[in-house]
Structure 1
């Protein structure tokens, strides 16, 4: 039976790149050949360094010894320090870490930070090469993007994900104009954003191509109205569906380039769309470039879904075969016909209804 050592170097390098970071470091002690291969830059194109599993001392060791300029994607997970956390073993990400990262990893394009306190981290210390920045359950400083050195700090940033960042407020949204290349913005659980702040912020971000607003105190109708006023070239929208009415659908008519619309509701809640499915689909069919309508968590399945689709199918001449219904419904508008796909549940019986 062939052993790992009988494999070519290129194959072993590919295998090592799929291992967790801790195992990579451990395997470097097996033999001289493995040590050499595990220092290959290709092994460290992507790295996930969770502080709760790896001591910060080890993370420093990995950064200085193994990670080089080939790194393209990095995920960090730290701890938010608070008075309730009495254990002295908790760590937070230090500014020096990002300074070293910026100098060594000049090809880094994606940085994801989860459960970290970033109050002492200036934005200017982040790698300038970033194209995607994800902040998940993090605390950021109120002066982020306010300092003069922060202007032009991330000139290539195209995608910004803010997921449950409680300290993100209206003033931060307004300052996103310092990212000239930003084309995709994801806001989830940003309850510090007000309707007035959203309207003012989007006015400065008229070049956005994609926007997602989930989990906020802003109604869906108000969000869509602000998007329609200021983001005339937006192509992808994802919003919660609970407060959507005909007013919000009318706002969509002012978006001639909209290609994808996702209406989302949380599973296990009573949040349901206030608009009948047939009316929603009919309204979306009037959008000239809309190709995908995705409905998540609506519970449109079973006999009720079948009857609704039969009704819509009977009203429109341009509808086509290939309809499936499940817990998540995606309608693809292709030319003069529509296809429907869902994950993870499908109903073959419903497909037969519309495949005749």
Structure 2
């Protein structure tokens, strides 16, 4: 028979690895089990990347987490607020941001989901951030202006305002100054139009990932992307219903993304297959057929073209 191994008999480094699989609330709970576990739970190794997005977090709880567990080891922090909730609570305040800056000087990534940031000054965020994801949040017009004045976000490499429907096209002028950006996500920011894509692609020529799904763009936006973003790897234009096959023809002249997502667009499957055949740089194209996600790649595009040719031949023979 196998002998049972108690967790208390395991080396501390092994126990730490087990604790790393626990959520933040679970870690806080088991810290009450005994003095040893309380000590282990506070190990800096467990608090390098903190994800608090499982449920909205109140300021009081966040204060406890920051003061009880966070330190100079923290690299990444994710929060979820109470936007669209019955409670009119805000999880983020200027005081909390100040405490984060003081306690966590190595913090380089912040993700905020479903929070009203209208009263939050963008210049109060931690300096030296490389990743800032503002998702499904509410912001005011010119929200980035104060951060721009202090050059606070000049180190950013990844920026997202996905599903932040009040994000204004006026803030595009500030994004254009973030020369280190490699990823930009403006998904469902419906105020973003061709003129804004013109500004962005003209200024941010090092972009590798651009998400414009749900934006109010036309084939002209694809023209700007294809002619200016020579390092583009991923392009998402899902649900941009004004795009046409003429826009597809523009891609690859001269630059083309490796990964293209066009779900919700009105492209024919055969036209997408022709695009893959014409551009050897393309690795995968994701599209939708009757609400079902499909994928085109270098292995199956010829099969689709052959099927289409056979259909045409059958129609001619029938006539």
What TM-score, normalized to structure 1? 0.75
* CA spacing shift, 1:52–1:294, aligned 2, 3 Å: same
Q: Cα 1:264–1:25, aligned 2, differ >3 Å: closer, same or farther?
A: same
The aligned counterpart of 2:110 is 111
Shift of 1:10: 0.9
Gap runs ≥5 in structure 1 = 266-271, 301-325, 341-356
Moved runs in structure 1, 4+ residues, more than 6 A? none
> 1:161, 1:15 → 2: CA distance?
32
Distance in 2 (CA, whole Å) between partners of 1:50 and 1:245 is: 38
Cα 1:236–1:55, aligned 2, differ >3 Å: closer, same or farther? Answer: closer
> Alignment partner of 1:139: what SS?
coil
Q: Is the 8 A contact 2:226 2:255 kept in 1?
A: no
RMSD: 2.6
Deviation readout 1:34-88 (Å, 9 max, x if unpaired): 0110110011122122595544222111101211122222110112379xx5x56
Q: Does 1:278 align with 2:270?
A: yes
Distance in 1 of aligned mates of 2:277 and 2:69: 53
Q: Partners of 1:58 and 1:147 in 2: how far apart?
A: 28
Q: 1:149 to 1:197 in 2, by over 3 A?
A: closer
Give the total of aligned pairs.
Answer: 297
Structure richer in strand, relative to its length:
1
**Corresponding residue SS for 2:63:** helix
Matches of 1:216 and 1:126, distance apart in 2: 27
Does the 8 A contact of 1:81 with 1:92 survive in 2?
A: no
User: 1:130–1:157: 8 Å Cα contact kept in structure 2?
Assistant: yes
Show structure 2 runs of 5+ residues with no match: 302-319
| Aligned equivalent of 1:295 | 286
- Normalised by the length of structure 2, the TM-score is 0.83
1:238 maps to what in 2?
236
Aligned pairs for 1:179-194 (under 5 A) are 179-194=178-193
Match of 1:35 in 2: 38
Do the aligned partners of residues 198 and 327 (structure 1) sit closer, same or farther apart at CA in structure 2, a change above 3 Å counting? Answer: closer
